[in-house]
């Protein structure tokens, strides 16, 4: 590096550099500040959006408590249309799907659940929607569509429900041996025995497995895990 004999020479060099590059430096400062301020604006905008969505969501719940179905539908649709990127919109769509199923309107239920699967950035919401859509197709007797949604690989914490639903599909097609295998897989994957165990045990009982058989299955799996 070139040395400077005096501080004055060093200062003169700095001034010359700034005179030559000052314009560029100004633009760099402007760009950095724009990014910083733009980021702050976006965060503020996002907070405002979520706050507004929250108000509409709780308004929807209040309408639900008052059994004002028209208001529930209106507020839920507003959340979906105007606040699609917030969790409140996903919950609203799941609620509308549930109502559609209760009214046996499986086409509408499918529409709302597919919307969550396509639009949600939250994997748990997507998995909930997938599982509920499988149930919708089972109820509608559309087994091909139900099988197409079966996804063991990416089920993770939802594996028990995914395997149970596969068992339901197999049973509906009278593939009883396959149904037993799926229910067995479900009961072994169950993270909460008290929550999932009784229903899965009943389903296996109905297919000819005794409680003793089921306990032996669990013990065998536990031994494998230890080994």
The answer for residues whose C-beta is within 8 angstroms of residue 157's C-beta and 6 or more apart is 191
Nearest 5 degrees, angle CA 142-CA 79-CA 100? 30
Q: What is the per-residue pLDDT across 28-39, written as a single tens digit (0 to 9) for each? A: 444 455 555 455
- Section 14-31 average pLDDT: 49
Q: Is the pLDDT of residue 25 over 80?
A: no
Handedness of CA 86, 88, 91, 92 (dihedral sign): negative
How far is C-alpha 203 from the chain's CA centre? Answer: 28
Q: What is the per-residue pLDDT across 186-199, written as a single tens digit (0 to 9) for each? A: 998 887 766 778 89
pTM: 0.74
- Scored b (16 or more CB within 10 A) or e, 194-216 reads eebbeebbebbeeeebeeeebee
Contact 132, 146 (CB under 8 A): no
- Section 68-95 average pLDDT: 92
H runs (alpha helix) in the chain: 7-65, 69-82, 87-102, 106-119, 123-140, 143-149, 159-172, 176-189, 193-206, 211-226
Q: What is the per-residue pLDDT across 141-187, written as a single tens digit (0 to 9) for each? A: 999 999 999 998 888 888 999 999 999 999 999 999 999 999 999 99
Local structure of residue 120 (DSSP, 8 states): -
């Amino acid at each position: 590096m070139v040395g400077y004999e005096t501080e004055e020479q060093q200062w003169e060099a700095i001034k010359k550099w700034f005179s030559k590059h000052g314009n560029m430096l100004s633009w760099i400062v402007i760009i950095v500040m724009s990014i910083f301020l733009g980021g702050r604006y976006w965060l503020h905008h996002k907070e405002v959006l979520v706050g507004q969505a929250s108000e509409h969501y709780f308004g929807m719940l209040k309408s639900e408590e008052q059994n004002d179905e028209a208001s529930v539908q209106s507020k839920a649709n507003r959340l979906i249309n105007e606040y699609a990127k917030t969790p409140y919109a996903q919950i609203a769509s799941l609620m509308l799907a549930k109502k559609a199923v209760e009214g046996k309107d499986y086409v509408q239920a499918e529409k709302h659940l597919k919307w969550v699967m396509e639009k949600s950035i939250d994997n748990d919401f997507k998995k909930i929607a997938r599982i509920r859509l499988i149930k919708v197709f089972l109820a509608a007797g559309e087994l091909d569509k139900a099988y197409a949604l079966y996804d063991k690989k990416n089920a993770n914490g939802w594996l028990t429900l995914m395997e149970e639903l596969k068992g339901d599909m197999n049973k509906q097609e009278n593939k009883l041996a396959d149904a037993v295998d799926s229910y067995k897989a479900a009961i072994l994957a169950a993270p909460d025995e008290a929550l999932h165990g009784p229903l899965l045990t009943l389903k296996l009982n109905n297919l000819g497995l005794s409680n003793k058989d089921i306990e032996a299955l669990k013990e065998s799996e536990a031994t494998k895990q230890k080994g």
